[in-house]
Structure 1
Amino acid sequence: MSYVNNQPQATTQMQVLPGGNRNASNKSYGPNGERGWSHGICSCFGDCGTCCLSFWCPCIAYSQNKHRLEHLEQHGAPHPEGGESCTGDCAIHTLLNCFGCGWVLQIGTRSDVRRRYRIRGSTCGDCCTAFWCQPCELVQDSREIELEEKSFQYKQ
């Protein structure tokens, strides 16, 4: 019988990112570590309230999405008021929408959502989605953020 004369080696601990569950719908990750959206771009009617807000007042939906995402990133917790509505971001989005360009601001926020939740896609895809499907894009972003926010209900 032989014995091992060395001490066990330390192992690295699991990294836990602050925030909630970033894949609450348990979508499978591909070989590059990215996954698909939890809700399709055409499933915007699944959240009728956000869909109406995004269609009639996209500036408010944009501002709420942006501030909810920023709050999750900075504080690791959901925004206590569900995001700020009437902000400078909302005003800039409104002004740009007067010239048909409000969608341009959404590209950055959509890219941030994809990055946070490791969703596959590209800046070109973000641009096309924001341009051609502005309200649906806002709803899809909102629903992805909402999944993480809801996961905090189960944390104690």
Structure 2
Amino acid sequence: MSNDGNWTHGLFNCFDDISICILSYFVPCVVFGQNAEKIGEGSCLVCGLVYFVPILNLIEWVNIRGKIRENSGIIGTPLNDCLTIFFCPLCALAQEGMEVKGIPGLMSMSRS
């Protein structure tokens, strides 16, 4: 977790976790859904499908990224989130995936 208001992994540090990097680039809807589910924003399947709906995906993504920032104490604004997602979506997705992976106490992906 970030202690200084910054992301644990930089936007272009996609290769810090190669598994998240590969998933983000080849099946981004899965990582999008997993990130949403980990922060309690919905089910992996539904949010994964939202990834393919223009405009709605951007709105939901900004919301998810904002909640990840909030939970991690990262400084930023919805405008910064929107610009990051718009100009570098796959790097942003990988960054978010690595961030939620390192947050203790968030919902787990495991099913009972």
> TM-score normalised to the size of structure 2?
0.80
Which among 20, 25, 43 is matched to residue 50 of structure 1? Answer: 20
Which among 126, 131, 141 is matched to residue 81 of structure 2? Answer: 126
SS at match of 1:120: coil
| Paired position in structure 2 for 1:148 | 103
Contact 1:50 1:139 in 2 (8 A): yes
Give the distance between the partners of 1:49 and 1:102, measured in 2 at CA. Answer: 23
Give the distance between the partners of 2:76 and 2:53, measured in 1 at CA. Answer: 28
| Paired position in structure 2 for 1:64 | 34
1:101 Cα offset (Å): 7.2
| Paired position in structure 1 for 2:93 | 138
Q: Deviations over 1:93-116 (max 9, x none)?
A: 1233xxx87444311100000111
Give the distance between the partners of 1:105 and 1:58, measured in 2 at CA. Answer: 14
Amino acid at match of 1:143: M
Counting only pairs closer than 5 Å after superposition, residues 95-114 of structure 1 correspond to structure 2 as 95-96=53-54, 102-114=57-69
Q: Which runs of 4+ in 1 moved over 3 A?
A: 100-104
> TM-score normalised to the size of structure 1?
0.59
Q: Does 1:89 align with 2:44?
A: no
Give the number of the structure whose alpha-carbon radius of gyration is greater: 1
Contact 2:50 2:56 in 1 (8 A): no
Q: Deviations over 1:91-146 (max 9, x none)?
A: 121233xxx87444311100000111110011110001111111111111111111
Aligned residues: 105
Amino acid at match of 1:95: V
Give the distance between the partners of 1:103 and 1:139, measured in 2 at CA. Answer: 16
Amino acid at match of 1:49: S
Listed as ranges, the gaps of 5+ residues in structure 2 are 106-112
**Percentage identity across paired residues of the two chains:** 26
